[in-house]
Each structure stands twice: as structure tokens, then as C-alpha cells.
Amino acid sequence: MNPALLLPLFTAILLTVIYTRSFIRITGLSLCVGGIFKFAIGGVGLTLLLTLVFGWVDGIAPNPLIGVYAAPLLEELLKLFLLIVLFRHRLVASENLQLYRQKLLAGIILGISFGTLETYLMLITRLSSMDNAAIFGSIPLHLVTTGFLASILARWKPTRTRLLLCGLVIIFHLAYNQLLLLPLPLSYLSFILLLTGCALLLTSLQRPRDFTKDA
């Protein structure tokens, strides 16, 4: 393996482990096995669907810019739609704040499963590429963006507010992709962006407030 890949690989693994442990420690929550399976399978299925779509598009009009600009838009919109569908099955919670955290955890599980399969698919198809720092950022990236999407659905009800905030999530994803295009070591700024996103999610979990007031 190229030594240049070791830093982003280590950062991605460390970020995912620390974030997951911090989430459980702060919330004290966990989904039942059936809930974890449902959201994990949803993330895997969505990844496979998008892989087929982008493979078909690349076969018709090969253009590397599609992955940079179109992928974030399509990925985040489809993840948002999938979360809306899965959240129709009510999660068990004793209070509004707990329900908010349950939904956020469900979104994180979906994002991790999405990013894990995407990472594997990129490893077996693009390992010879020199800019594979992108590969190891996939898991924390989708952990953060899907967590934000779940937070938006759980916290805000007005459609306009949801659309605006979802647009910011897409911009976050686009910014990450743009930073990856920078030459090393500037491309490592993308991981600083991911760390910032994780910090914002953890901060929102620590606020003991009734989120229905924001509806």
C-alpha cells in the first residue's frame, strides 16, 4: 500500500471508532438488532443501487466530474428519501429528546453501512489510483452527512427549513470532494472538515432540550 494512504486510513478508522464510542457514551442509547439490521441493509442496498447507476452513466458518458458534482447530490437526496421511508416505522422512545437521539443513531448506522460498502467497492476497483485518500474518508463522510440528514428529519418539521438544511448537507459533501482534489498535503483539509462535522453532531446530542419547540 502507498505510504501516502496510511494517514487518511488511520484517521478514518480512529474517527469512526472514537465517534461511535462517544455517541453511545453520551446518549446511552442503542437500537434493537432488528433496527440496526434494517438501517444497515438500507445503506448497503442504496450503495449497490448507486453503483449500478453511476456505472451505467459512466459507460454512456465517462466524465470524472460526475463523481465530484453529481454524486453528492444524488447520494444525499436518496439517503434522505430512504430515511423518510424507514422513519415511518416508529422508533420506541420515552421522551422527545430520546426519540431525536434514536433517529440520529439510526442515520449514523445507515451512513456507516453505506460508506463501508462504498469503501470496499472503491478498494477493489481503484486501488491502483494515486489519489485514493478519498477511499478512506467514505465511512466518516457518510456517517456525518447521514447523521445530519437524520437530525434534520427528527428536529425540524417545516418543509422549507428541511430543504434548506439538506442543501447545506449537500454543500458539505461537495466541499469535501473539492478538498480531495487539492494536491497533498492540502487534500487532508477534507479530514478536518469531517472532524468539524462530527463535533457539531456530538454538540447537538449534548443539549438537554425539547426539540419539538423547533418544529
- The pLDDT confidence band at residue 120, using thresholds 50, 70 and 90, is confident
Contacts of 209 (CB under 8 A, 6+ apart): 97
Lowest mean pLDDT among 119-123, 125-129, 147-151, 174-178: 125-129
For position 208, what pLDDT does the model report? Answer: 47
Q: Classify 132 as helix, strand or coil.
A: helix
**First-to-last C-alpha distance (Å) of the chain:** 49
For position 182, what pLDDT does the model report? Answer: 84
pLDDT at 24 over 70: no
For position 204, what pLDDT does the model report? Answer: 77
Residues 91 and 80: their CA atoms lie apart, in Å, by 17
Per-residue pLDDT tens for 174-202? Answer: 999 888 888 878 888 888 899 899 888 88
Assigned C-alpha cell, 65: 466530474
Assigned C-alpha cell, 3: 505510504
Mean pLDDT of the chain: 78
pLDDT at 133 over 70: no
Could you tell me the CA-to-CA distances from 128 to 49, 87, 125, 155, 193 in Å, in that order?
24, 40, 8, 43, 26
Share of the chain above pLDDT 70, in %: 67
Higher pLDDT, 12 or 110: 110
Per-residue pLDDT tens for 90-103? Answer: 665 556 777 788 88
DSSP H stretches of helix in 61-131: 64-65, 71-86, 96-126
The alpha carbon of 168 is separated from its chain's Cα centroid by a whole number of angstroms, namely: 13
Could you tell me the CA-to-CA distances from 116 to 76, 101, 110, 147, 151 in Å, in that order?
16, 22, 10, 15, 21
What is the mean pLDDT of the segment spanning 54-81? 81
What are all long-range contacts of 69-74, with beta carbons under 8 Å and residues at least 24 apart? 69/174, 69/177, 71/177, 72/170, 72/173, 72/174, 72/177, 73/170, 74/50
Q: Classify 18 as helix, strand or coil.
A: helix
Residues 72 and 52: their CA atoms lie apart, in Å, by 16
Could you tell me the CA-to-CA distances from 56 to 10, 63, 74, 191 in Å, in that order?
33, 12, 14, 30
What single letter denotes the amino acid at residue 62?
A: P
pLDDT at 116 over 90: no
Lowest mean pLDDT among 4-13, 60-69, 162-171, 195-204: 4-13
Higher pLDDT, 69 or 93: 69
